[in-house]
Amino acid sequence: MTWPDVISAAAVFGCKDVGPEAVAALVDLPVGRADELLESLVEGQLVEALGTGRYRMHELLRQYARECAETFSTVPVPAAAP
């Protein structure tokens, strides 16, 4: 599992912010590994740590990741959250 998978999963999930538990469930990883991947995204300035165990990505990155998931994923992507 790579950080693009994590970004895509978080984008498809549709929330403004997400915790490592949700990411772990979405990409079938242990929570600790999901948290490590999220922290690597913080270091790469692709997501922002909110300081409460939650992470947020910029809206443009979320839209791009969602489009990539819709285009390249073999798993159906649910309709966008409002």
Q: State pLDDT tens for residues 19-63.
A: 899 888 888 889 999 899 889 889 988 889 998 889 988 888 888
* β 17-18/47-49 pair status: unpaired
* Residue 64 predicted with pLDDT over 50: yes
pLDDT at 65: 79
Whole-number Å distance between alpha carbons of 61 and 47? 9
* Range list of β-strands (E), 19-72: 47-49, 55-57
**Confidence class for position 82, pLDDT limits 50, 70, 90:** very low
What does pTM read for this prediction? Answer: 0.72
- Domain spans of the chain, in order of start: 3-68
CATH topology of domain 3-68: Arc Repressor Mutant, subunit A (1.10.10)
What is the mean pLDDT of the segment spanning 3-21? 76
Distance CA 51, CA 81 (A): 24
Question: What is the per-residue pLDDT for 24?
Answer: 87
